[in-house]
Amino acid sequence: MQMLNPLPVPMLAVAVAVARAGKPSPAALPSAPILHGDLVERLRDRMIHGDLTPGTKLNERVLCGELGVSRTPLREALKALASEGLVELLPNRGAVVATLDAERVKQIFVVMGALEALAGELACRNAGEADLDDIRGLHYQMVAHFKRGEREGYFRCNQAIHRKIVESGGNLALAQTYAQLNAHVRRARYLANLSADRWARAIAEHEQMLEAVTTRDAPRLKQLLQDHLAHKLVVVMEALLSQTVTASS
């Protein structure tokens, strides 16, 4: 069989160089732009987790540098967060992280308690086995985060569980109303987990809720969900009162 003559060393070097030139290195590739939803989520998380505290002025230049975006997408994200009550847009003065209004939070929690109770009843009736498997999986992930003391991971799973229960009920109007209201109190719900005692009690309550939904015990799950949110509200009110006293002193 005839052997092919290898390229001379200089020609081989040129061929390699041409091949490499056609494929830029990963470092040379421009980074992908941040999507609107991702940008909103990153800013929302910083506000919920306390990295951006209530009353903080949101410096556009600084945030653009930290997030790698221009001012236009940043401003659109801030408008979205303002619609959730997390940001206050001040005429001619920019934007600040909104302060939680205790009375408004209380009113929303009362409504959400009723919504979650109805959602639990519907979930017991309409949830498929795949829905129940998803809830179980999220619950076990949440417990793992709790045992490791990971509040942010715990909170993500916690919110996903409540959302899944609502969505499993099969009532779109209920799910949409719940999502809109929950956006306004997500930061308040996170506050409750800063109490070690409340955090441990919440895990115990979720164990009971998991048992109730998987056995399709609608009356029990309905009551558990209402009580769970009522207990959370007590801790949230205490935390908001504490913040008010600290700010005024």
**Are 206 and 136 contacting, i.e. CB atoms less than 8 angstroms apart?**
no
Q: Are residues 80 and 141 in the same domain?
A: no
Give yes or no for residue 93 having a pLDDT over 60.
yes
**Which of the two residues, 127 and 3, has the higher pLDDT score?**
127
207 in a structural domain: yes
- Worst-scoring range by mean pLDDT, 3-7, 59-63, 230-234? 3-7
- b/e map 129-161, b = 16+ CB within 10 Å: eebbebbeebbebbbebbeeeebeebbbbbbbb
**Same domain for 171 and 67?**
no
Residues 93, 123 within the same domain: no
146 and 229 together in one domain: yes
**Structural domain count, the chain:** 2
Say which residue, 173 or 3, is predicted with more confidence. 173
- Residue 37 shares a structural domain with residue 138: no
Provide the pLDDT for residue 244. 60
CATH number at residue 81: 1.10.10.10
Residue 52 DSSP code: S
Point out the domain boundary residue: 97, 120, 144.
97
Q: How confident is the prediction for the chain on average, in pLDDT?
A: 86
Whether 93 and 108 map to the same domain: the answer is no
How far apart CA 218 and CA 137 sit, in angstroms, is 21
What pLDDT band is residue 32 in, cutting at 50, 70 and 90? low
Examine the domain organization and report whether 108 and 89 are in the same domain: no
**Residue 16 within a domain:** no
State yes or no: pLDDT of 2 exceeds 60. Answer: no
Could you tell me if residue 20 is inside a domain?
no
Q: In terms of pLDDT, which residue wins out, 237 or 29?
A: 237
Q: In this structure, are 206 and 237 located in the same domain? A: yes
**Domain assignment present for 8:** no
> Is there a domain that residue 241 lies in?
yes
**Within this chain, do residues 155 and 141 fall inside the same structural domain, yes or no?**
yes
Print the domain residue range for 85: 30-97
Q: Of 72, 97, 122, at which residue does a domain stop?
A: 97
One domain, residues 135 and 212:
yes
Mean pLDDT computed over 104-119: 95
State the CATH number of the domain containing residue 152. 1.20.120.530
- What Å distances lie between residue 166 and 63, 93, 212, 243, CA to CA? 34, 39, 14, 31
In three-state secondary structure terms, 85 is coil
Residues 153 and 206 in one domain: yes
pLDDT at 108 over 70: yes
9 part of a folded domain: no
Q: Is residue 2 part of a domain?
A: no
78, 97, 116 — which closes off a domain? 97
Mean pLDDT to the nearest integer, 140-155: 96
pLDDT at 100 over 60: yes
Q: Domain for residue 37, yes or no? A: yes
The pLDDT score that the predictor gives to residue 241 is 81
CA angle 51, 55, 57 (to 5 degrees): 80
Percent of the chain with pLDDT over 70: 84
| Average pLDDT, integer, range 137-143 | 97
Q: Do 81 and 188 lie in a common domain?
A: no
pLDDT at position 91 is 85
> Could you count the other beta carbons within 10 Å of the beta carbon of residue 232?
24
Query: Alpha carbon of 96 to those of 58, 202, 220: distances in Å?
Result: 5, 31, 42
